[in-house]
A and B are shown apart, each in its own frame.
Chain A
Amino acid sequence: MLRLMGTVCIFGGTLGLGVVWQKQYVRRIEHLRSLVLMLQCFQGEIQYGRGTIPECCLAVADRMPEPLRQTLKETANRVNQEGGEKLETIFAEGIEKLLPQMSVKREDLEEAFLFAAGKSFADREQQIAMIYTAKQRLQETIAVLEREREKRCNLSVALGTLGGMLLLVVLA
């Protein structure tokens, strides 16, 4: 009886791990889509509202899901409170806070916020072009992930299952 319960636990655990990997993969795609949407909103705010980056952060935040909403609001508020910090520093801290809460990689977030965290351009078109480029790159990443989605998801579950079976064989 004890042996059977152990078998179920080990097998269930490794299979669960495979399913978690699968979910993380799907969530990364969803979060990347949120980042693309965020960039799209920034582009609109700069193009039509000629807003500064903190102003755009406030305007865009309300249309974003958590945790992006909170981070954008915090960024805008910190600039508006005139603490004297560099925007680059505030965004870097924002990325650090977002990383554990999102299923994206550091480079995805750095790519998404590069237009705001770096030195701003003197002309609006160049600033928008920068956002457009970041958006394109994220969309390319999404396309690659989507292409491999089925394969990767199946692989995660299969690896979990096989890993569990292997452990059972070794332990038996």
Chain B
Amino acid sequence: MQKISLMFPGPQRLLWKKLESRQSELSEIRLRVNQPIRVVLEGKEYYLSDDGSVTLSENHAMCIGQDYIPQFLDYVCQYSLYAFEEEVRRGFLTIRGGNRIGIAGQVVLNEQAQIKTIKHIFYVNIRISHEVLGAADRILPYAYENHQLKNILIVSPPGWGKTTVLRDLVRQVSDGNPYERGKNVALIDERSEIAGSFLGIAENHIGSRTDCLDGCPKTLGMMLMLRSMAPQVLAIDELGGFEELDTLRQANACGCKVIATAHGSSVDEVERRFGGEVRKLFELFVLPGRRENGFSLRITDREGVCFD
């Protein structure tokens, strides 16, 4: 995992050093101009003080000035903001290690009233990616039927560990596990969050039989991988539209198993969003959740019968 201090340019690093000892608990950093730095540790919000320690008192919190965020962005973009033109337009960029940076500022529209760019970026939300090897262990006993992988959908609200579970599931399906030998997996990593690729090489563990298409829109990527890489399993993050669902169906009709994630608080909610088509395609549903002492997983079949 990339150390947090390395995400910041040299002069800003000292502040983040102390937090590195609690990096596994850190899920979010919020930077806002002229406001205190806020960090989320184990789901709880704290302020960051001048010496780098976390505090609940706003009086001891460190406020950042106008130069802080532009300097940080310049650094994470490797002084090449132009290379992130599309990402800035979409409001987020993914950096090394799969950490996602959400941005907000003043929007510039084009003639068609679409977002051309965002300037004066003074609000940043850094979501720290966590690789948890073994996060999908509990899914595997239910993931196969007659040595065939089931089509799996992972459903949860944002920030509840969907991507973490997907990443580990991809790794275990690809490498092989106690229930089945490894399979060729095609991973379409549109936002570079799953593999955390840097210069095309995955920095997270995604399995030895996984081919990763980094930064490609899902529908395009799925078709490309189907044609070119002959995958046995296709995996995508954040199923967002009917077109993507259609492509997944096509892939499944070609004999390719599919694993996907979707935003939602329940399978019914996702089912409603996709007009009743989700249960026809997917056979196993995984619902990551939160408990006081960490994360939980609920695993159900199409009928909603809970396996554990």
Contact = CB atoms under 8 A, between A and B. Distances in A.
B78 A53 contact: yes
B85 A122 contact: yes
B83 A86 contact: no
B82 A46 contact: yes
Interface stretch (A76-84, A139-147, A152-160): A76-84
Contacts of A84: 6, 8-11, 13, 75
Contacts of A123: 82, 85, 117
B104 interface: no
B74 A51 contact: no
**Which applies to chain B's interface (DSSP): helix, strand, loop or mixed?**
helix
B80 interface: yes
B83 A51 contact: yes
A85 B75 CA distance: 9
Interface string A112-126: 000010011111101
Contacts of A52: 77-80, 83
B79 A86 contact: yes
Contacts of B113: none
Contact of A87 (B6, B8, B78, B199): B78
Question: How many A residues touch the partner, as a band?
Answer: 20 to 34
Question: How many B residues touch the partner, as a band?
Answer: 20 to 34
Contacts of A119: 74, 79
B81 interface: yes
A83 B10 contact: yes
A50 interface: yes
A54 interface: yes
Contacts of A124: 82-83, 85
A83 B9 CA distance: 8
B116 to A, nearest CB: 9
A62 B9 CA distance: 28
Contacts of A116: 79
Interface in A71-123: 79-80, 82-88, 116, 119-123
Nearest to B8: A84
A55 B96 CA distance: 13
Contacts of B88: 122
B119 interface: yes
Interface of A: 46, 50-55, 58, 79-80, 82-88, 116, 119-124, 126-127
Closest 7 CB pairs of A and B: A84-B10, A52-B80, A87-B79, A52-B78, A127-B82, A124-B82, A82-B6
